[in-house]
Amino acid sequence: MNRPASPRLARRMSYIRPFHVMDLLARARHMESQGRCVIHMEVGEPDFPTPQPIVDAGMAALRDGHTHYTPAAGLPRLREAIAGHYHQRFGLDIDPNRVMVTPGSSGAIQLVMDVLVDVGDKVLLPDPGYPCNRHFVRLAEGTPVALDVTAENAYQPSVEQVVNGWDDACRMLMVATPSNPTGTCLSQAQMRQLSDAVVARDGVLVVDEIYQGLVYAGEEFSALALAESPIVINSFSKFFGMTGWRLGWAVAPLEVVEAMDRLAQNIFLAPSTPAQHAALAAFSPETAEILAQRREAFAERRDFLLEALQQLGFRFPARPAGAFYLYADSGAITDDSFAFAQRLLDEAGVAVTPGLDFGDNQPQRHIRFAYTNTIEKLEQGVERIARFIAR
Amino acid sequence: MNRPASPRLARRMSYIRPFHVMDLLARARHMESQGRCVIHMEVGEPDFPTPQPIVDAGMAALRDGHTHYTPAAGLPRLREAIAGHYHQRFGLDIDPNRVMVTPGSSGAIQLVMDVLVDVGDKVLLPDPGYPCNRHFVRLAEGTPVALDVTAENAYQPSVEQVVNGWDDACRMLMVATPSNPTGTCLSQAQMRQLSDAVVARDGVLVVDEIYQGLVYAGEEFSALALAESPIVINSFSKFFGMTGWRLGWAVAPLEVVEAMDRLAQNIFLAPSTPAQHAALAAFSPETAEILAQRREAFAERRDFLLEALQQLGFRFPARPAGAFYLYADSGAITDDSFAFAQRLLDEAGVAVTPGLDFGDNQPQRHIRFAYTNTIEKLEQGVERIARFIAR
């Protein structure tokens, strides 16, 4: 078997960090293959399978031969269904032509960055935050600028941070509500203030709403309700439980959608056809009922885990209200969350995600716990962590 | 319904051209919605549905709940199956770890460019060629350099062109065999010469083999057989009939796959899970039998259409041996193939792709005919074209 030599890699690859959790995951899988039981509290996807009505719609699509390309912006019926969802859920009238269906929300973020960010443009991003976002900015040869968010502001950028961080090279602010990894939300008032600040500076606000629907306290809203509508990213992965299908969407001004469409024709051709047909069932009453039950289950797990971890000495200075993550201040327990996570896996068989994967803002004193596992498993996990800490 | 204003687009968008055939397609659809019958000879995907064993495997995967993320580089079993395919088909021993499964071959091309092309690096590409390739180079902020290929060299780059076109900024040569739009192939000797020239210049050869299996004359080979193995791109879309599923792959040196994997974790997360499970059935004997029959059907259509178009005065100075395209020199019939294609659609109800979509090398005297339609439809199309020309 020949082993061809590697050519030199492009310079940008030095910026693309691997996820540390991937190594942990590989180690966890290895341990499991050796017969050890690992409790997973690191996984960023729902443990539930895709709701049956969506699976059924996918199977029906396959049976009916829907295996050819769709338009690059998605099936017109699906774009209409998504627009309809905003009407039903939030009372918003969204032109279906403003909806761009994409291969996962990842595809949507990539299109937004490539369409709007010029070489050298700065994009403000919260730290901690979803780590891929700064890589998408890099791929567009823009410059990601971290805003070190604090628990006092619910781990969300404050207007002052945006105003002080803005300069002539700034082009965009991207926020997420609920946020990964912190699970914290922006209020409608905060969102409006951020939007006003960005719009006043002729910038673009991008709002990641991919955990929409998974909010357990307070009333939900979409940033699309703002008078100056931002660009919104969403996904069928999290709330709708369709991670492996790779389907998301963006809502943007028509001219931006036209440009995204033109680019998507070239770089994606189209989103997955079976996934799109399946997603047509995502807004049905049967699916809604299943999703409401799952939301309840997530809320229950959150309440349990939050309480249990607090009793172990983890601190949650900003109350996590959504997604399926708890972002713990682990400073009272360890001053090196990365080493802690490694030892916790090796010695206690519990997998968690160290803060290091989410940025450079005090990562060593933070750990992300995901409650994408049953209450029973979470209970076992907490027991193991308790024993591990007590040693 | 509010209509938010558009922010200014990034400069790179001025390079991203729309496909002219998209306008034609929209017009064709409009005509069809008005009750007119349009003969499609513009479509770049097989008319056949996905082979039933692959569809069955996809449905079984959904039934079994395979809807979660897979590793970013793909299911280990699928990587092994692809490596096994090279062994069975070409007697090549490929390490499965050199196989990177991607969201379509588009995903593979994007990863290759982002991982290897630095800002300002030049990438040599044949013109005419697959138009998206130069956009992928642009997105990596590289500079696509067109090699105007000629019928004398089977519309493939000659070694002289590569040698003369190479300078210190050159990083990569990308070729396709069979080629879209020309359907012409590189011989193994030509491939070796191109590889030698590129390797001697410390460059990277990327070979697009996405139409592999659809060759109707001469013996097929994979560029992976070369001593200095190039990077090879392939797809489940064309030969395997899985366009809408969006699944492809790359074979590359291990270090490049490691980098592609790291990047894919960030920008794609993973290829579609149902598609990957379905593709496990792509190499089965049952599927192979179906694909062999389809290949025969394509060969028959090619023979018919080539002969019929020649009788109408279209010229094929380089014999198209593969894919499902005929790239006609239409100079004896029209000096403006774009206007011809528009009138042919409007007045005769036949959709074809004007040369303009494939580059700047004499596009006005070329038309791409796709034989992704039944012999009966192709016959009707030829009759309509004959009447249109005779008027």
Q: What's the confidence (pLDDT) of residue A24?
A: 85
Cβ <8 Å between A245 and B106: no
Q: What's the confidence (pLDDT) of residue A232?
A: 98
**What is the rounded distance in angstroms from the CA atom of residue B105 to the CA atom of residue B111?**
10
Give the ipTM of the model, two decimals please.
Answer: 0.96
Cβ <8 Å between B245 and A95: no
For A248, what's the count of Cα atoms within 13 Å in the CB-facing half-sphere? 28
Co-location of A183 and A269 in the same domain: yes
Predicted confidence (pLDDT) per residue in A39-65, tens digit: 999 988 999 999 999 999 999 999 999
**What is the rounded distance in angstroms from the CA atom of residue B381 to the CA atom of residue B348?**
9
Co-location of A337 and A302 in the same domain: yes
Q: Which of A225, A251, A284 is the last residue of a domain?
A: A284
- Confidence category of residue A17, pLDDT binned at 50, 70, 90: confident
Co-location of A311 and A253 in the same domain: no
Predicted confidence (pLDDT) per residue in B364-389, tens digit: 999 999 999 999 999 999 999 999 99
CATH number at residue A257: 3.40.640.10
Q: What are A279's two structure tokens?
A: 């997603």
Decide if A79 contacts A108 (C-beta within 8 A): no
Does residue B59 lie within any of the structural domains? no
Does residue A202 lie within any of the structural domains? yes
Co-location of B73 and B152 in the same domain: yes
- CB-CB neighbors (< 8 A) of B65 in chain A: 49-50
Co-location of A178 and A318 in the same domain: no
Range 199-228 of B in CB contact (< 8 A) with A: 204, 227-228
Co-location of A256 and A299 in the same domain: no
Decide if A197 contacts A163 (C-beta within 8 A): yes
Co-location of A263 and A315 in the same domain: no
Does residue A5 lie within any of the structural domains? no
Q: Does A19 touch chain B (CB under 8 A)?
A: yes
Co-location of A280 and A291 in the same domain: no
Residue A91's CB: how many other CB atoms inside 10 A? Answer: 9
Cβ <8 Å between A118 and B10: yes
CA B144 to each of CA A384, B133, B173, B209, B362: distance values in angstroms, whole numbers, following the listed order: 56, 8, 10, 20, 18
Q: Which of A284, A312, A332 is the last residue of a domain?
A: A284
**What is the rounded distance in angstroms from the CA atom of residue A236 to the CA atom of residue A82?**
10
CATH number at residue B314: 3.90.1150.10
Predicted confidence (pLDDT) per residue in B148-176, tens digit: 999 999 999 999 999 999 999 999 999 99
B337 lies in which domain range? 11-49+287-390
Range 31-70 of B in CB contact (< 8 A) with A: 45, 49-50, 55, 58-59, 62-63, 65-70
Q: Does A120 touch chain B (CB under 8 A)?
A: no
Encode chain A in three state secondary structure: CCCCCCCCCCHHHHCCCCCHHHHHHHHHHHHHHCCCCCEECCCCCCCCCCCHHHHHHHHHHHHCCCCCCCCCCCCHHHHHHHHHHHHHHHCCCCCHHHEEEECHHHHHHHHHHHHHCCCCCEEEEEECCCCHHHHHHHHCCCEEEEEECCHHHCCCCCHHHHHHHCCCCEEEEEEECCCCCCCCCCCHHHHHHHHHHHHHCCCEEEEECCCCCCECCCCCCCHHHCCCCCEEEEECCCCCCCHHHCCEEEECCHHHHHHHHHHHHHHCCCCCHHHHHHHCCCCCHHHHHHHHHHHHHHHHHHHHHHHHHHHHCCECCCCCCECCEEEEECCCCCCCHHHHHHHHHHHHCEECEEHHHHCCCCHHHEEEEECCCCHHHHHHHHHHHHHHHHC
Q: Which of A269, A284, A299 is the last residue of a domain?
A: A284
Co-location of B195 and B343 in the same domain: no
Co-location of A278 and A294 in the same domain: no
The structural domain count of chain A equals: 2
- Confidence category of residue A6, pLDDT binned at 50, 70, 90: confident
Q: What are B297's two structure tokens?
A: 């059907």
